[in-house]
Structure formats: structure tokens, C-alpha cells
Amino acid sequence: MNELKLEYLKLKKKTRSWLGPILVFWLIMLAFPLTVEFMQDKLEIGFFSVLWIAILISMMLATEDIFIEDYNDGSLEQTIIKNTSFQFLISIRIIVYWLMIGVPISILSFIFSLGTSEDLLLSISVIPLSIISSYIFLNLFALGSALSLNKGSLLGALITMPLALPVLIVLGKSIIAFQLGINYLEFILLLLGCLSIIIIAVPIIVSFIIKAHLE
Amino acid sequence: MDNITSVIAENISYKVNDNKLFHNLSFSLNTGESLHIKGPNGSGKSTLLRIILGITNPTKGSISINSTKDKCYLGHKNALKNYLSLDDNILLMEFDNHPCLKKYIEILDLKRYLDVNVANLSYGQQKKLGLLRLFLNSSDLIILDEPFVGLDKETQIILTDFLTDQLKENKTLIYTSHIECDIDSKTLLLK
């Protein structure tokens, strides 16, 4: 619990790091209706595509400096020489990022979805999808950020972007499935299955990558 | 208290690409002993410390450390968060409830800066804050990379006295320093 509290303290004080991605998401979702006609049916076309891509981009921005600051100021070295599990600390950091950025964005997703579709059930169905997908994206981009630790965050994002594409496909299919009344839960379970693997694998891989960078 | 072997290094070698930084280094240290690693810039002093810490793997050889506690390490970087106040940084170091915290805050003359962001402190003051990690440590093995750099004469004396006391408490000290200090140490010279 103490680690969770300390990670929260660090992120809370870095306003740009947590508020920036939320504002970018908010701006994309606000700007989207301006580019199409203000008619219900026109707005609904493409809304969910924009929503998932906005979540993807926000998560990419959120992980931009997830490890680089600790790498530069020597905190990573201090963490590695401790007897505490490094993988555990990475998991905690990703959870805190998700709670501070992913969850608010999921709530905003619901609000924007309701405002656009005026369909409460459909908007409610967006919540679990955005909550799970934001967590998956955070893990994937954290992996990218670790890979390109001293080479700029854009490279890492480009490397890990292909891993996020299947998730985007599943997200798109989930909404269609919900609208048609078929297999929505199966898609949620599929995403949860992916997440359960990623939650375990990513911190382990990231810890090895960071140790290799420090060497 | 009996002295027991704390650190044993056997035939440590390290090379970067094909350049040998050092070759077949061996030494052992008992508890209560100190090792001063000396050598010119680029001779591999910091690398050797990182090998002892387990951050870097040696090309050849092995290190064994007889302690289960966390190691205390101060490197060139102070591991401080610039955007946080001194108070918050102390919280991050998990020393906020340490019984000796107030004492060392007073000794290092940091009390009036507790609410100040680290970014607004001078290098020396940041270094002093970093020293709290050393002064409040509960480790058996202390590893320091140029600990005297950036410190005024008064703080250098405080640090030297502290390290001498730590050795009396049977802790093991390994350090590099270009600044001469009055600590009774073995010397390892890297060329």
C-alpha cells in the first residue's frame, strides 16, 4: 500500500503528466463533432472509431515519461538495488497511471458516448471496454517506453503500436456486437483474457529491459 | 564484535567492446573495513561500484556479498525529484518516520528549505538532501561514488565523521573519491 501511495504522490505532483493526456482526449472528442455535420446519425458514424483512437493516443502520451525521469535522476538504480521486487513496483506504477488517467478517460468516454448516441445502454457498455482497453494500452506503451528509454518515447510508441492494433479491432467489433445484440460479453472476456496475460508479462519484460538499459 | 567477511571479489574483469577496463581484480573486505577505490577518470571506478551493487554484470569473475539487507548507495545522481519539495522527497525515501530525521535535517541545515522544491535548491543543498539516504541508512554495506563532490568543508567533515562512526559500528564501506578524506581505508588503485 505504501508503494501505491508514493507512486500516487509522484504522479499527482506531475500535473502535466496526468492532466495532459486527459485534456488531449477531451479535446479530440470535442473537436470530432466540429468536423462532421451536427446531425445525430452523422455524428454516430465514426464516433466509436474516434473514441478508441483517442484513448489509444491518450495512453501513448501518458506513458511518455513513465520511466525516463527515474532513469535520468538515478531513482531506477536505487530501486533496482533494493530487495523489493522490481516487477511489483512497475505493476504498481502502471496501476496508478491507470487510476489517475485511464479511469477518468473511461468516465469521459461514457459521457461523450451518451451525448452522441443518446443511448444509455450503449454508453454503459462503453465503460468496461474503455476501462479494460486503457489498461491494456498503458501496459503496451509502458513496454514501448522501456524499450526506447534513452532513445525518445516516439520510437517506443511506434514499436508497440502494432501490438495495440488487434485490441482496436476487438473494440470496434464489440460495439457492433452490442448494437446487434450478439456476443458482447464474449468480446469483454477476450479483452480480459488479453489483459490477464499482459498484466503479468509486461512488468516482467519491462524489468528485464530496464535492467539491460542500466547495465 | 568479531569481524566477518562482508565482500569478496574474485578475478573481476570488465571490458567495453574490446577495451579492458580492468582485469582480474580480487579483494575482500571484512565488516568494519573500508575500501577506497582510486584511479584516473575513465579507469572504471564507478563501473566497479555498479558491479558490486549488482547493477552491471562483470565480463568475468564473481562478487559475493554477505548481507541480506538493502545496500546503501549514493552515486553521481541524487535520485531526487525536482518537482517535489524536500518534505515530499523525504517521504519518497521512506524516512519520514525515522527517529534521527530531525537531527540530520538540523545538522545539514535543511530545516528552512523543507517546503522548497528541490529544483530551487543549489547543487550542494541537493547533495545534502541526497546524503540523508546515507545518514538514515540501516544497511550493512555502504557504497559511495564521489560523496564529497559539491559539499562545503563543514559538511565534508560531518560526512567523514559519520562514515568513521559507521565503520566502528561494523559496517562495510566502499567508496571512490578524488577529494582526500581522513577515513582509515584499504586502497584499490585502478589504472
> How far is it, in rounded angstroms, from Cα B8 to Cα B26?
8
> How far is it, in rounded angstroms, from Cα A40 to Cα A23?
25
Does residue B65 share a domain with residue B100?
Answer: no
Residues B54-79, mean pLDDT to the nearest whole number: 88
Residues of B in contact with A14 (CB under 8 A): 83
What does the pLDDT read at residue A54? 95
Phi, psi of B39 (to 5 degrees): 155, 160
Mean pLDDT estimate for chain B: 89
Residues of B in contact with A75 (CB under 8 A): 79, 81
Does residue B66 share a domain with residue B154?
Answer: yes
Residue B68 has pLDDT above 80, yes or no: no
Q: What percentage of chain B reaches a pLDDT higher than 70?
A: 98
Phi, psi of B22 (to 5 degrees): -150, 160
Residues of A in contact with B69 (CB under 8 A): 83
Does residue B148 share a domain with residue B134?
Answer: no
Give the dihedral sign, CA A197/A200/A203/A206: negative
What does the pLDDT read at residue B17? 82
Please list the alpha-helical segments (H only) found in chain A.
2-13, 15-31, 40-44, 47-62, 68-73, 75-80, 86-97, 103-117, 120-147, 153-180, 184-214
Q: Given strand B19-30, what is the order of strands in its sheet?
A: B19-30, B5-16, B60-65
**CB of A65 closer than 8 Å to CB of A17:** yes
Amino acid at A18: W
Does residue B17 share a domain with residue B109?
Answer: no
- Closest Cβ–Cβ partner in B57, B79, B92 for A74: B79
Residues of B in contact with A211 (CB under 8 A): 55
Reported as a pLDDT band with limits 50, 70 and 90, residue A117 is confident
Reported as a pLDDT band with limits 50, 70 and 90, residue B69 is confident
**CB of A215 closer than 8 Å to CB of B57:** yes
Residues A12-21, mean pLDDT to the nearest whole number: 93
Residue A35 has pLDDT above 90, yes or no: no
Residues of A in contact with B83 (CB under 8 A): 13-14
Residues A189-211, mean pLDDT to the nearest whole number: 94
Residue B1 has pLDDT above 60, yes or no: no
Distances (CA, A) of A215 to A204, B150, B166: 17, 26, 29
Residue B76 has pLDDT above 70, yes or no: yes
Closest CA to A110 of A29, A18, A28, A195: A29
Residue B2 has pLDDT above 70, yes or no: no
Q: Does A16 touch chain B (CB under 8 A)?
A: no
What does the pLDDT read at residue A65? 87
CA distance B103 to chain A (A): 24
Strand partners, B27: B9
What does the pLDDT read at residue A21? 95
Q: Does A196 touch chain B (CB under 8 A)?
A: no
> How far is it, in rounded angstroms, from Cα A165 to Cα A111?
25
What does the pLDDT read at residue B66? 85
Residue A153 has pLDDT above 80, yes or no: no
| Matching residue, cell 523543507 | B114
Which residues constitute the domain of residue B129? 79-138
CA distance B89 to chain A (A): 9
CATH label of the domain that carries residue B29: 3.40.50.300
Query: At B172, which helix (H) or strand (E)?
Result: strand B172-176
> How far is it, in rounded angstroms, from Cα A38 to Cα B172?
73
Does residue B45 share a domain with residue B105?
Answer: no
Would you tell me which residues 26-55 of chain B have a C-beta closer than 8 angstroms to some C-beta of chain A? 53-55
Residues of A in contact with B67 (CB under 8 A): none
Search chain B and give the residue with CA nearest A75.
Answer: B79
Least confident segment among A29-38, A46-55, A139-148 = A29-38
What does the pLDDT read at residue A37? 73
**CB neighbourhood size of A136 (10 A):** 27
Search chain A and give the residue with CA nearest B117.
Answer: A13
Closest CA to B191 of B3, B24, B7: B24
Q: Does A80 touch chain B (CB under 8 A)?
A: yes
Q: Does B68 touch chain A (CB under 8 A)?
A: yes
> How far is it, in rounded angstroms, from Cα B109 to Cα B16?
42
What does the pLDDT read at residue B182? 84
Residue A133 has pLDDT above 70, yes or no: yes
Does residue B118 share a domain with residue B37?
Answer: no
Closest CA to B85 of B68, B66, B105, B103: B105
| Domain termination residue (choose one: B119, B138, B157) | B138
pLDDT tens profile B121-144: 999 999 999 999 999 988 889 999
3-state SS string over A129-147? HHHHHHHHHHHHHHHHHHH
Residues A104-120, mean pLDDT to the nearest whole number: 92
Least confident segment among A39-43, A45-49, B158-162 = A39-43
Residues A191-206, mean pLDDT to the nearest whole number: 94
ipTM of the assembly? 0.86
Instruction: Please tell me the total count of domains within chain B.
Output: 2
Does residue B87 share a domain with residue B53?
Answer: no
Would you tell me which residues 77-136 of chain B have a C-beta closer than 8 angstroms to some C-beta of chain A? 77-84, 88, 91-92, 94, 133
Q: Please report how the helices A86-97 and A120-147 are oriented relative to each other, as an axis angle in degrees rounded to 10.
A: 140
